[in-house]
Structure 1
């Protein structure tokens, strides 16, 4: 709602064209749509803005006038329109002096499902289970089995009988944090064949589950006590039920097969029938292979499902289980980064969103110093230039943080990564401004202020539009504005560390300003914060030395190929050197830095922004980004202005906006 679209003064109408989403259940020919229009009038006192709203050739709202300084959301409840050409028209009335405007529009498409809904008894029993265990974190909403594509997580439904309602045949709530006794609702589900409640904290005795349909009952690794009901024992002895109870107190007195690992027993029986020396050799070889894999680090992720922490963090974030981490990372297959904190894996959520999963090296919460500060900080701060934390995993053996995936890596990689792609001068300044705005938000808009303490190029991530996003808040600390500093132990990264902070242990927001100055020098020079050859130099001293020996152009990154504005370069260099003053009192604030960078950024076209200075031609990735995110504007006639979201086609005089 912070942005609005209005028409040029030469036009009196605005046409909005909505492209339909790609969905297998949508019939575009007969598609129906429910539009919701959002308006916010902030123009002067007593504005005279009135217009009619049309959709599918029908008048939806007549002589509408947006309210001043509040949001109007306009829709006709339950009235679905024919999609037709997907256009809506805002037409200025004769009595209006101002043109139409619109801040946002959302459209809902009607999807008709012909499939049968879940059997009502199963629905009621599953709702009872949800309430019994307070399963609020699991996305169990709507019908459990229908539509099939959106069936409840952990449920398997039987759709084989086309003329009957689907039934729930399998429930898997393993490692779901269940507490208390076993829900009796399960025993009423007459089609249930497989019930897995393993690796939870279930207590009490086992109810008398008299389910003839039940074939597998896995209650292993809980806190269950005896006795075992006779009806269950009879089905186990008859071979009709696979009962698993290992890892429960009940098994301290019972030594039957269901209290031991059946697979191990089977393997032991097989070993007796083979030649012992051969088996010993095979086992030794296997142990060597497994040992090597473990040392490589890929087998670090054993089955940690039983180690889930009972008490969760009190933050408004999704908590992932270890099993969920394995699922979204495809069993930790794709490594996209490593560091002292641990390993970062590429992952994909249930809705298709790509994420980065940072798994910490620490194997217990007591040993982790960065995990809690980062979760606490990122659960409270929200800004377009700060990384979004999707959730966390709090496991006694595995701590993990789940972020939005940044497809372009980090700033250090693009500055010093390779020769296949180079940032041009304008792109570098935009990224610097993005990082500065994120820090300004932490310093000025948060109460109390937050000091990041580890600002550096590897911690500036880049999305597919090359927008800079600040990450890694493990060292961040709150800063009380009522005091000029707080005492702490100096922390940070070599080369970026504020010398005043390092000497006095007195932390202020100017600590981040110093680190940002080092980062600006990296953006200008393409050099690391500490240069080792031919002799060791701290980057600010290297810059001073180079300028004293020659001219300013000797320090500029050679990959820019002299494609930059000299006065702009001089101003950014002056700003960077002011940021790295030894005394914090002489450094600018981040608000001043943001203001200076905004003034230095020239007005450049999106065409120029998407061109690499090193090649002079458009990078294929940038071309795809611009194709996906373009917003096209064109004049349709002397009396009409049009904009189209999605992909434009067959329109003249297209103006491509940068998408930033």
Structure 2
């Protein structure tokens, strides 16, 4: 979207969530935004706004999340922002904010994440930040004037990420740094730190990435190092002494530009490093070090044998060139074939970042089985860490999988064209010969199905479950109605919804997605997806519209509030099929009996609203299912839910009582052995084409299979 933001947006006074990120809006932010006093989420990042932040935004007393990174908004942060006492997260990097960092931010005691960077702020960093004891993420970089010590962080012992790069920090590393037990990433590079590196810093168990290069630190290296600390940059300081034994066990280590001592006992530990120290005089005519001596007699002997050596060398060089040409021709033919494969795979649409296979092998420790997250139809998925400290999930295409290669291409084409808070982010891919890999952001809470149906180590309370339903609906509404062309996911299910650290849902796995022309009412295609989530008209006739995703969402919503899969033979007979049970409870005015018994507290009004929406979404006729934008409005209470009286025909027409045993034990015409939900399901699992390469009207999905679709679940 483009153009200026209209002033009448201030009339939406009941609005609680407003996300305008990743558009092309321009002009100034209207002051009328200050009328949205119920707003708790505002995102204006990645736009072309200009001007300053309206002081009226200080009226949004309920605002707890503000994202304005790359928005174009500049100037000083208004003093009225002191009223935003409920602020939890504020991102404001890569936008021209200026002036001093306001002292009143130190009064936002609920703040858990603050990111400033790429601005023109002046120091010092306010000492009032001492009060922000709830912070887990703090990034303040590129301060232009006014130095600060690290005294203001002494109460921030909950930090997991601290980045104060190029922030004019002076003094010593705090003596209590060992108390920051959850710290994973520390970046204090390009500052003016002095003193020694305390051993307590290297002993933090959680620390994985340490960057303190370009300071004035001195003294020896600590003798011990935490096991997880695998990325260390100590370059361009004044460190001295010899090397402890751990220097050979670190994945990435930068020690150049220091004053370390080298002798016969340690020069081989880090080869070549002695040439890159402050006190070493290098040879200007050669990239190598000065040779210690020159043997004159040996030089004379070499000169005497010059003619004989020249003849031998000439013959050897000629043979080597011929051999090289032959080898080149062989590899050229092979590489041309592999490059053609890559061109076919990436020949359309925007291209993501390209990783080398060596990068990903290093990130996953050569695809160590201990890093394996799971495996689906596409192939195995591994956890890894890039050299910059980012944790990733690497999906590896199994060799010889033609279906997987199609999904690989489709996923790149689809997901690189869309960006939304509730869609998983693709960092890039790797295509080298027969190796095809996708690189995603990693979510440590994994997928929704593992939380709901797994060992339940992570308990989801009612507000979290409701927000997962709402966030998933928003992601689908974006795909269906805001993306151009619109996208039908085709495989919405609990295992394809990931949960980030804040338990925000992220729709993943676009391998089966279809781009949908607005001019077409529907398309006919081979049936693909996961049984238990397929809409009837799609399962039987291959009739595809966005209402197929709406149906799947309704099933997922019922799973979220009930805490169970859409079918389970371990339950009483009347509860085996979730949809059928939900309708039975609805018809007897006992819908709240569907709620997960582990939820001791829940909002009854919201619960009934979610159930009502789910029953509308799973209607037999796609015409009776609401679009996802209306689903969002109904969940957010911006639109009332009409009476749900039409029981789906697929529940009334099929006689489950007589056929349950045959569904469970008989031979059914499906590819159930290839279903996407398997034992230890990967968080990036792939679904199955139920009838690949077959005309949809000839697809062998009969009445028995439709019942299986409803019955089998997950």
Report the TM-score, using the length of structure 2 for normalisation: 0.48
Contact 1:490 1:501 in 2 (8 A): yes
Q: What is the CA RMSD across the aligned residues, in angstroms? A: 4.9
> CA 1:330/1:73 → structure 2, altered by over 3 Å: closer, same or farther?
closer
Aligned counterparts of 1:321 and 1:8: Cα–Cα separation in 2 = 45
2:503 equivalent in structure 1: 466
Matched, 1:313 2:346: yes
Work out whether residues 275 and 289 of structure 2, in 8 Å CA contact, stay in contact via their aligned partners in 1: no
Deviation, structure 1 residue 337: 1.8
State the 1:2 CA deviation: 2.3
Residue in 2 that maps onto 1:374: 411
Q: For 2:630, which of 586, 592, 598 is the aligned residue?
A: 592
Per-residue CA distance 1:167-207 (angstroms, 9 max, x = gap): 99xxxxxxxxxxxxxxxxxxx976499xxxxxxxxxxxxxx
User: Following the alignment from structure 2 to structure 1, what is the Cα–Cα distance between the partners of residues 539 and 377?
Assistant: 21
- Give the distance between the partners of 1:585 and 1:383, measured in 2 at CA: 27
| Cα 1:251/1:87, change in 2 over 3 Å | closer
Change (3 A) 1:595 1:310: closer
CA distances 1:553-602 after superposition (whole Å, capped 9, x unpaired): 332211113x112222112111100000011111111101111222299x
Contact 2:447 2:497 in 1 (8 A): yes
Which of these residues, 565, 580, 605, is aligned with residue 603 of structure 2?
Answer: 565
Aligned residue for 2:431?
A: 394
Residues 355, 405 of structure 1: 8 Å contact kept: yes
- In structure 2, the CA distance between the partners of 1:251 and 1:395, relative to structure 1 (3 Å rule), is closer
1:521-536 matches, within 5 Å, as: 521-533=558-570
Are the aligned partners of 1:434 and 1:467 in contact in 2 as well (CA < 8 Å)? yes
C-alpha distance in structure 2 between counterparts of 1:496 and 1:481, whole Å:
24
1:486–1:508 contact (8 Å) kept in structure 2: yes
Given that residues 55 and 81 in structure 1 are in contact (C-alpha distance below 8 angstroms), is that contact kept between their aligned partners in structure 2? Answer: no
Q: Confirm or deny: 8 A CA contact 1:451 1:508 kept in the other structure.
A: yes
Partner of 1:505: 542
CA pair 52-355 structure 1, distance change in 2 beyond 3 A: closer
SS for the counterpart of 1:368 is: helix
- Conserved 8 A contact 2:143-2:166: no
Q: Which residue of 2 aligns with 1:80?
A: 144
Report what 1:250 is aligned to.
326
Aligned match of 2:591: 552
Cα gap change, 1:320 to 1:233, in 2 (>3 Å): farther
Find the aligned partners of 2:443 and 2:453 in 1 and give their Cα distance: 18
For the residues of structure 2 that align with 1:167 and 1:521, how far apart are their CA atoms? 72
Q: Is the 8 A contact 2:98 2:121 kept in 1?
A: no
Match in the other structure for 1:160: 275
Contact 1:159–1:166 (Cα < 8 Å) also in 2: no
Aligned counterparts of 1:247 and 1:469: Cα–Cα separation in 2: 53
Residue 519 of structure 1 aligns to a residue in which SS?
A: helix
In 1: Cα distance, 2:521 partner to 2:328 partner: 61
- Distance in 2 (CA, whole Å) between partners of 1:362 and 1:384 is 33
Please give the alpha-carbon distance, in whole angstroms, between the structure 1 residues aligned to 2:283 and 2:499. Answer: 47
Distance in 2 (CA, whole Å) between partners of 1:232 and 1:522 is 81
| TM-score computed with the length of structure 1 as normaliser | 0.51
Match of 2:15 in 1: none
Instruction: Tell me: higher relative CO, structure 1 or 2? Use CA pairs within 8 A at least 6 residues apart.
Output: 1
CA contact 2:616–2:625 (8 Å) conserved in 1: yes
Give the Cα separation in 1 of the matches to 2:287 and 2:400. 43
1:297 equivalent in structure 2: none
**Corresponding residue of 1:2:** 44
Counting only pairs closer than 5 Å after superposition, residues 319-334 of structure 1 correspond to structure 2 as 319-333=354-368, 334=371
Counterpart-to-counterpart distance in 2, 1:400 and 1:513: 30
Structure 2 Cα separation of the partners of residues 113 and 234 of structure 1: 55
Bigger fraction of residues in strand: 1
1:250 positional shift: 3.5
Conserved? CA contact 1:157–1:166, under 8 Å: no
Partner of residue 582, structure 2:
543
Q: 1:341-380 CA deviation, whole Å, 9 max, x = no partner?
A: 2111110011101001111224366862210110111111
The verdict on how the C-alpha distance between 1:82 and 1:516 changes in structure 2, with shifts beyond 3 A counting, is: same
Mapping of residues 376-455 of structure 1, within 5 Å: 376-455=413-492
Instruction: Report how far residue 246 of structure 1 moved.
Output: 13
Secondary structure (helix, strand or coil) at the match of 2:406 reads coil
CA apart distance, 1:551: 2.4
2:247 aligned residue: none
- Structure 2 runs not aligned, ≥5 long: 1-42, 46-52, 60-72, 81-96, 104-117, 123-141, 153-163, 169-189, 194-234, 238-252, 257-269, 291-298, 300-308, 330-334, 640-714
Task: Give the structure 1 partner of residue 254 of structure 2.
Answer: 149
Q: Is the 8 A contact 1:451 1:477 kept in 2?
A: yes
Q: Is the 8 A contact 2:98 2:120 kept in 1?
A: no
Name the structure 1 match of 2:14: none
Q: Does the aligned pair in 1 maintain the 2:554–2:617 contact within 8 Å?
A: yes
TM-aligned CA deviation for residue 524 of structure 1: 1.5
Q: Distance in 1 between matches of 2:410 and 2:604?
A: 42
For the 8 Å contact 2:120–2:144, the answer to whether it is kept is no
How many angstroms apart in 1 are the aligned matches of 2:540 and 2:280? 76
3-state SS of 1:575 partner: helix
Over 3 Å counting, the alpha-carbon distance change for 1:234 and 1:463 in structure 2 is same
Matched, 1:338 2:375: yes
Closer, same or farther in 2 for the Cα pair 1:236/1:580, shift >3 Å? farther
Write the distance in 2 (CA, Å) between the matches of 1:345 and 1:575. 36
State the 1:335 CA deviation: 0.8
Q: CA 1:484–1:592 in 2, change beyond 3 Å: closer, same or farther?
A: same
Q: Number of matched residues? A: 396
C-alpha distance in 2, partners of 1:399/1:435?
29
CA-to-aligned-CA distance 1:109-146 (integer Å, 9 cap, x gap): 352699xxxxxxxxxxxxxxxxxxxxxxxxxxxxxx98
